[in-house]
């Protein structure tokens, strides 16, 4: 596409909102493919079983995706810089178990399920602890990738193992469970008909969207991911920005760990095992490029919903649970293949 | 002579969109001859050699090889004919052994199994043939640049090559290594091989070549026997490129007493391949407020490296940089920008643009800090005003500020990069090959723009490989060769011949700048 001659610049104050609509249809299809796919799935599952679109089931799906969805918001920042974070599930578990320990004031399971532990430090301290642990974990990993030039894949693969081990060490392998209502409310409560985890998830999605679209920091994240060398030569602090996305990811891992513990009324040492795959899948299905610089939180929300709807729909129709895993795998590959196809067509 | 030609390229033409790269170029190379192929940057040497090695197909013309008309459709076919190119960037796998590299894809042995004994023996035979003694099982990564080059030559010999093209083979070698390479070339010549030798170093041409062919603006200027020419003859054949359609600057009045940038004794040692290589050596110069300082030099002279070091993109080993007569510490591009130094880099797609982002985002990326609400949110209307301002000032043609930069023409992309820097209001703006890959009309616009910047008091440093551009635009010109400054020439005294001499001659053979 060549640029359009514009001899009379005066008439064009600012932009012409319709100029960009000339984009070819493949580009448009590429941009809206996840939405279209999501709608198609919803229609199919609704046709198979009208219960699928009942209010209760809708909130079911949302509640199911809220934890991995939170992580996926953080992962969007990471992947936008062409990075990856495999440690999210482990970091979530570590943050969760620390939060539980802080809430109960003990590292061992008292087996007194449902009782209020008076020796604890309260729910706010627990939240703070979870988020602090998460962000510190992210900071260590981010600094390792930028300062020592270790690929993030390797650093966070190490984190995947190390944080899981730390979790097991912390609680000696067992769960820490049985919290007071102020704690569990964060995972089990509702405001009106809407589960609180869903509100947290969607609320932070909106915040993240605003950060990425409308702040200087967000613009820098896209720039660093799109072309790190150009970003450096434009005076951006590439190392700091790259490190920061892992801290953001850590924040969401911490928050997710706390919410999950609250929802289950138990912080499990094995919580979040394998989450990294679902989380990365949500981001990638949502159209964020693994090569960095392109994508959005909106896409990630769609991607999370898509996976949630797929699993829920299959469960609702009594499909063999093992088939779910297979179908998610296929969807990931199709989504990336489609994305690659669209990009190769666009560059012609 | 003509009865014993190994290669006879006739009337080769090749055009790319907007450029006639080669216009009926002929090249004759004799058997057992070392043939120098010369010309300025962009004269068409690479294109011609890429046609010969099968990377490009000519639009017209014929290639006769060993007395037979041949068509070279791919690099593989060229190799089958025995035409092998050794590029500046070697085609070796660093993690494998010499033997594996030499016989890559042609490993001896039954059923695709490798007969290591045979491969080692054959590799040793080849290295002995070029007179080096080296273990075939050495990992290529551990070799010096010169040794890697010998592996490339051994590889060429293993393909039974009759014609080896060497693209700037001496540019990364020490003088001792050059001597060793020349010995190998003489041996190969004695064995009846022919060599096309591409270089910028004219004294080497006289030392090693039998005949030379000079290209200029995609045309053959002539072929000569080396005995019949002097360095000055070659220079006058190389220069004199067509200069029409260039921007012509009027007489300029820069302030001689206002030094905006002063560089003293700048040196840089070490490259990715060779930690001891000298990249820049003891470079000192000044840039005055409101002047355009041209930096001329051939590829590899260190011009880009100099700009990158001043800009903090690469580190320097010693030397000082002063802005407005005050020494400044520059350890990163951020430092340079803070002190008012800008760089429009050589490769805009790799080093400057965010291709997937909009024009607006590309333009404002470095100055967002001054258009924030609550230190956080970008004031969108101010950003659009900025785009609008520079769209008018630089006549950037786009469908909207939201158009992705990847969809702009090269000239407009370059304007976006320049606009980004202008928005930062630099004191010194270094532009590296500002008109590379953009069409003639856009070139003149960029030239006009640089002129205007100088008039507005910015010190402009312009690196260019095109001498006519350097001559038309610069108030003063410094020349570089092999990481050293070889001359400072005022606008009135500058001629293409003088510059070419300063750019091509070995420093120690010259009588001071």
**Three-state SS string across B452-479, please?**
HHHHCCCEEEEECCCHHHHHHHCCEEEE
Residues in chain B with CB shorter than 8 Å from the CB of A231 are 354, 365
Higher pLDDT, B224 or B17: B224
- Contact A19/B357, CB-based, under 8 Å? no
Residue B68 parent element (H or E)? strand B68-70
H helical segments located in B43-91: 45-52, 75-80
From the options 2.170.150.70, 3.40.1190.20, 3.30.450.60, 3.40.50.300, give the CATH code of B2-238.
3.40.50.300
- Torsion angle defined by CA atoms of residues B428, B429, B430 and B432, in that order, rounded to the nearest 10 degrees: -170
Higher pLDDT, B477 or B244: B477
Rounded Cα distance, B501 and B495, in Å: 10
- Per the rule left: phi > 0, alpha: psi between -120 and 50, beta: everything else, A81 is alpha
Angle at B500 between CA B184 and CA B481, to 5 degrees: 60
- Contact A223/B368, CB-based, under 8 Å? no
Per-residue pLDDT tens digits for B163-200: 999 988 887 777 788 888 999 999 999 999 999 999 87
- Contact B399/A16, CB-based, under 8 Å? yes
- Output the pLDDT for position A114: 46
Q: What percent of chain B has pLDDT over 90?
A: 42
- Output the pLDDT for position A22: 44
Rounded Cα distance, B140 and B458, in Å: 48
What is the distance in angstroms between the CA of the first residue and the CA of the last residue of chain B? 42
pLDDT mean over B493-507: 82
All domains of chain A in start order, with CATH: 33-346 (1.10.3470)
Pairing outcome for strands B34-38 and B68-70: unpaired
8 Å CB contact between B315 and B308? no
- Contact B313/A232, CB-based, under 8 Å? yes
Please tell me which residue of chain B has the smallest CA distance to A289: B356
Q: Which of A9, A219, A347 sits opposite B365 (nearest CB)?
A: A219
Complex ipTM value: 0.77
Secondary structure E strands in B181-330: 194-198, 211-216, 219-225, 259-269, 278-288, 292-296, 318-323, 326-328
- Contact A220/B357, CB-based, under 8 Å? no
User: Which residues belong to CATH 3.40.50.300 in chain B?
Assistant: 2-238, 259-509
Q: Cβ of B110 under 8 Å from any chain A Cβ?
A: no
Radius of gyration of chain A (CA): 22
Rounded Cα distance, B330 and B322, in Å: 10
- Contact B354/A226, CB-based, under 8 Å? yes
Higher pLDDT, B149 or A338: B149
Q: How many CB atoms lie within 10 A of CB B94?
A: 12
Q: Cβ of B439 under 8 Å from any chain A Cβ?
A: no
- Contact B397/A5, CB-based, under 8 Å? yes
Per-residue pLDDT tens digits for B391-428: 888 888 888 898 888 888 888 898 999 999 988 889 99
Q: Cβ of A15 under 8 Å from any chain B Cβ?
A: yes
- Output the pLDDT for position B503: 87
Least confident of A210-214, B108-112, B325-329: B108-112
- Contact A232/B333, CB-based, under 8 Å? yes
Q: In chain B, which among 280-339 make CB contacts under 8 A with chain A? A: 311, 313, 332-334, 336-338
**pLDDT bucket at B2, cuts 50 / 70 / 90:** very low
**pLDDT bucket at B252, cuts 50 / 70 / 90:** low
Q: Report, in this order, helix, strand and coil percent for chain A, each rounded to 5.
A: 70, 5, 25
Measure in Å the smallest separation between the Cα of B413 and chain A Cα atoms.
Answer: 11
Rounded Cα distance, B243 and A7, in Å: 28
Q: In chain A, which among 329-348 make CB contacts under 8 A with chain B? A: 347
- Output the pLDDT for position A13: 39
Which residues in chain A show pLDDT less than 50? 1-22, 113-116, 347-348
Please tell me which residue of chain B has the smallest CA distance to A348: B407
Rounded Cα distance, B433 and B348, in Å: 10
- Contact A9/B391, CB-based, under 8 Å? yes
Rounded Cα distance, A23 and A5, in Å: 17
Measure in Å the smallest separation between the Cα of A327 and chain B Cα atoms.
Answer: 31
As a CATH number, domain B259-509 is 3.40.50.300
Q: What are phi and psi of B381, to 5 degrees?
A: -70, -35
Q: Cβ of A214 under 8 Å from any chain B Cβ?
A: yes
- Output the pLDDT for position B324: 92
Residues in chain A with CB shorter than 8 Å from the CB of B361 are 219, 222-223
H helical segments located in B62-174: 75-80, 98-102, 116-129, 145-158
Rounded Cα distance, B423 and B399, in Å: 21
Q: In chain B, which among 365-384 make CB contacts under 8 A with chain A? A: 365-366, 368-369, 372, 376-378, 380-381, 384
Per-residue pLDDT tens digits for B289-319: 989 999 998 877 889 999 999 999 998 888 9
HSE-up of residue B263 (Cα within 13 Å, Cβ side): 22
Residues in chain A with CB shorter than 8 Å from the CB of B412 are 3
């Amino acid at each position: 596409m060549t640029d359009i001659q514009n001899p009379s610049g005066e008439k064009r104050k600012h932009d012409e909102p319709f100029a960009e609509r000339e984009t070819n249809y493949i580009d448009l299809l590429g941009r809206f493919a996840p939405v279209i796919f999501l709608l198609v799935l919803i229609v199919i599952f609704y046709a198979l079983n009208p219960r699928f679109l009942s209010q209760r089931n809708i909130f079911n799906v949302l509640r199911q995706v809220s934890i991995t969805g939170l992580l996926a918001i953080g992962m969007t920042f990471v992947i936008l810089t062409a990075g990856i974070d495999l440690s999210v599930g482990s970091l979530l578990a570590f943050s969760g178990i620390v939060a539980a320990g802080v809430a109960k004031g003990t590292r061992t399971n008292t087996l007194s399920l449902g009782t209020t532990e008076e020796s604890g430090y309260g729910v706010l301290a627990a939240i703070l602890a979870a988020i602090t642990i998460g962000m510190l974990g992210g900071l260590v990993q981010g600094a390792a990738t930028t300062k020592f030039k270790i690929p993030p894949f390797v650093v966070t693969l190490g984190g995947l193992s190390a944080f899981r081990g730390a979790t097991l060490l912390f609680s000696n392998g067992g769960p820490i469970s049985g919290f007071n209502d102020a704690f569990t409310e964060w995972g089990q409560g509702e405001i009106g008909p809407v589960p609180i985890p869903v509100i947290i998830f969607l609320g932070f999605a909106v915040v993240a969207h605003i950060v990425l679209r409308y702040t200087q920091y967000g613009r820098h994240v896209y720039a660093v991911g799109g072309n790190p060398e150009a970003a450096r030569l434009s005076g951006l602090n590439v190392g700091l920005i790259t490190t920061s996305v892992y801290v953001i990811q850590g924040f969401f891992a911490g928050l997710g760990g706390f919410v999950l513990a609250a929802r289950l009324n138990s912080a499990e040492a094995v919580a979040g095992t394998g989450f990294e795959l679902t989380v990365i899948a949500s981001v990638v299905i949502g159209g964020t490029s693994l090569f960095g610089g392109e994508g959005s939180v909106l896409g990630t929300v769609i991607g999370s919903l898509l996976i949630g709807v797929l699993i829920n729909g299959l469960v609702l129709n009594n499909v063999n649970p093992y088939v779910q895993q297979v179908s998610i795998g296929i969807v990931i590959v199709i989504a990336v293949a489609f994305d690659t196809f669209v990009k190769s067509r666009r560059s012609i | 002579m003509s009865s014993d030609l190994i290669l006879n390229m006739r009337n080769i033409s090749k055009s790319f969109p907007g450029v006639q790269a080669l216009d009926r170029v002929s090249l004759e190379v004799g058997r057992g001859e070392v043939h120098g192929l010369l010309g300025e940057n962009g004269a068409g040497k690479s294109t011609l050699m890429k046609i010969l090695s099968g990377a490009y197909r000519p639009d017209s013309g014929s290639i006769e090889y060993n007395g037979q008309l041949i068509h070279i459709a791919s690099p593989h076919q060229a190799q089958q004919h025995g035409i092998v190119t050794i590029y500046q960037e070697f085609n070796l796998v660093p993690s494998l052994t010499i033997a594996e590299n030499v016989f890559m894809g042609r490993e001896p042995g039954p059923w695709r199994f490798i007969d290591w004994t045979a491969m080692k023996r054959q590799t040793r035979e080849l290295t002995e043939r070029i007179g080096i003694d080296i273990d075939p099982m050495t990992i290529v990564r551990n070799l010096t640049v010169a040794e890697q080059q010998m592996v490339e030559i051994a590889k060429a010999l293993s393909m039974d090559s009759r014609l080896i093209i060497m693209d700037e083979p001496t540019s990364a070698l020490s003088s001792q290594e050059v001597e060793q390479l020349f010995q190998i070339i003489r041996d190969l010549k004695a064995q009846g091989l022919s060599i096309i030798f591409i270089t910028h170093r004219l004294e080497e041409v006289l030392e090693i070549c039998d005949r030379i062919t000079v290209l200029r603006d995609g045309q053959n200027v002539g072929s000569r026997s080396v005995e019949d020419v002097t360095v000055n003859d070659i220079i006058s054949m190389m220069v004199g490129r067509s200069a029409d359609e260039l921007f012509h600057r009027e007489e300029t009045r820069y302030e001689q007493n206002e030094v905006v940038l002063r560089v003293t004794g700048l040196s840089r040692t070490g490259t990715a391949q060779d930690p001891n290589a000298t990249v820049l050596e003891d470079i000192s110069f000044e840039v005055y407020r409101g002047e355009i300082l041209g930096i001329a030099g051939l590829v590899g002279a260190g011009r880009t490296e100099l700009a990158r070091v001043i800009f903090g993109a690469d580190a320097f080993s010693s030397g000082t940089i002063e802005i407005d007569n005050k020494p400044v510490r520059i350890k990163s591009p951020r430092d340079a920008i803070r002190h008012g130094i800008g760089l429009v880099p050589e490769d805009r797609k790799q080093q400057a643009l965010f291709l997937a982002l909009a024009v607006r985002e590309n333009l404002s990326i470095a100055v967002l800090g001054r258009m924030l609400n609550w230190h956080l949110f970008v004031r969108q209307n101010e950003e659009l005003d900025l785009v609008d301002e520079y769209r008018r000032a630089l006549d950037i043609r786009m469908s909207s500020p939201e158009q992705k930069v990847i969809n702009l023409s090269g000239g407009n992309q370059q304007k976006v990069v320049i606009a980004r820097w202008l928005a930062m209001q630099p004191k010194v703006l270094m532009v590296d090959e500002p008109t590379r890959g953009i069409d003639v009309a856009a070139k003149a616009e960029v030239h006009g723009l640089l002129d205007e910047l100088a008039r507005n008091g910015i010190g402009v440093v312009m690196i260019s490989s095109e001498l006519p551009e350097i001559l038309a635009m610069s108030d003063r010109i410094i020349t570089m060769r092999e990481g050293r400054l070889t001359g400072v020439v005022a606008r009135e005294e500058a001629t293409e011949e003088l510059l070419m001499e300063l750019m091509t001659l070995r420093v120690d053979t010259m009588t001071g700048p």
